Chains A and B, each alone.
Chain A
Amino acid sequence: MENRLAQEMMENPFAEEPKRSSTWYWQIFTGVALVLLLGLHFIANHFIATGGIRDFADVVSYLRNPIVLVLEVLFLIVVAIHAMLGVRAIVIDFGISSQAEKRLSQALTVIGVLTVGYGLWLTWVIIH
């Protein structure tokens, strides 16, 4: 039974029941948010920054715009969550123990926090 289900899922994931775990919903929520944020990011890059962001001074003045700053920081946080959840899903697919799964989640949380922290630090350095 188990064997057959696995076989079918390999054959056709469209037949698979949607996974309704909380991480799955987080992945969808952050994913949809990223589509919106990336759209806004493109608009901000091409239309708010008149003449485009071409040199260092342009980057600094772009990030000093408070709306842009909020948008970019939000983008960084959401993308980090989405990326870590994605990596988690791929690694878990290799069939790891629940103990390993716990350690994986902890490690990815640390990596995600470091990633966001680094981005925030970099942003701070650039605008000051």
Chain B
Amino acid sequence: MATLEQPKLRRAGRWFDVRHRKLGMWAYALNRISGIGLVVYLYLHLVVLSTLSRGPGSWDAFVSLARQPYFLLLDVILLAGILIHGLNGLRIALTSFDVGVKRQKALFSALMLVALVALSAAALKIFGG
């Protein structure tokens, strides 16, 4: 358990350690981890798109790489991040305007179930099911 006596950095860094925490802490940590992941993806995406400025050759080479099975796994991970962050974000938006505050644990669970179903469907589709 983090207390104010601990060094600042270690205390602030404790949010992602969700062991023995309540559901709300899971929601908070999941939102941050997926958020950081999506920022990293944003810049990877921009770097990859820069090959477009060097003409068809380098772009088409990347596309054939991106269609390899192990690369498609990265797509599934990306989609997981988007679904978790986006759907949990809708909960945060609602509760910020005092909608569903009392039922937000149920709301969170339901939204994560939607994310799981959508992710499974997409994964089946991506891997040619």
Contacts and interface: CB of A to CB of B under 8 A. Distances in A.
A6 B42 CA distance: 32
Interface string B77-111: 00000100010011011011010000011000000
B55 A56 contact: yes
Nearest to A55: B60
B124 interface: no
Interface string A55-79: 1110100000000000000000001
Interface in B3-61: 3-4, 8-9, 11-15, 21-25, 27-28, 32, 35-36, 38-39, 42-43, 46, 49-50, 52-53, 55-56, 59-60
Interface string A1-21: 011001100111111001010
A10 B52 contact: no
A94 B55 CA distance: 43
Interface residues of B, number: 46
A126 B52 contact: yes
A64 B12 CA distance: 46
Interface residues of A, number: 39
Contacts of B35: 86, 90
A122 B3 contact: no
B105 A94 contact: no
Nearest to B87: A35
Interface of B: 1-4, 8-9, 11-15, 21-25, 27-28, 32, 35-36, 38-39, 42-43, 46, 49-50, 52-53, 55-56, 59-60, 63, 82, 86, 89-90, 92-93, 95-96, 98, 104-105
27 contacts: A2-B4, A3-B4, A7-B3, A10-B2, A12-B22, A12-B25, A14-B27, A18-B95, A18-B96, A18-B98, A24-B96, A32-B89, A38-B82, A38-B86, A57-B56, A59-B59, A83-B39, A83-B42, A86-B39, A87-B39, A94-B8, A94-B9, A94-B13, A95-B8, A95-B12, A118-B46, A122-B49
